[in-house]
Chains A and B, each alone.
Chain A
Amino acid sequence: DIQMTQSPYFLSASVGGRVTITCQASQDIGNYLNWYQQKPGKAPELLIFDASNLQTGVPSRFSGSGSGTHFTFTISNLQPEDIATYYCQQYDDLPPTFGPGTKVDFK
């Protein structure tokens, strides 16, 4: 199985600030990488697919980049409703696998 790692596991930022999360795959996955947001007690929601494409309805302050084994997820202008855990997920190879998550909180 392809192993996905994320860093950091936890980060705190200020409202209006910039958040960057990295995701690394154990082998080349091209751009078959998605990002999900999960708020406490809720199901994950798809934010970005194919590494950099914003899902319909997702605010433009969310963005993603990268290919191969190294990917980046960014929230610019952090809003209170962005407090959540963020997961990357690869679907280049079966089974699809997720990163361990990055919890984002306020300073």
Chain B
Amino acid sequence: EVQLVESGGGLVQPGRSLRLSCAASGFTFDDYAMHWVRQAPGKGLEWVSGISWNSGSIGYADSVKGRFTISRDNAKNSLYLQMNSLRAEDTALYYCAKASKDQAVAGSDYWGQGTLVTVSS
């Protein structure tokens, strides 16, 4: 059974940093790309970032480019999102999602339950 468990969310002041983690199990992690997708309270889904199976291809939404960094550790079956210079508009539930193939240009077939990030002073 595929399981994706996010952690690292919380309340943080504007301008500060936070690192999200996603622990994956139930599939061969290094066969698939991975994504971060967020959902602001009461809003729709917004793709944040994606990373190919070998970290060779990475993409970011314009809204986070230059502030967020995605990475993965295939030995640890883990995905990360380093979020710097956080803004109020980054407040959202952040989902870790497994891509349906090894490249970042892919949909997602499994999702975690999300970790909430609140940016507020």
A and B assemble together: no
Q: Which residues of A contact B (CB under 8 A)?
A: none
Q: Which residues of B contact A (CB under 8 A)?
A: none
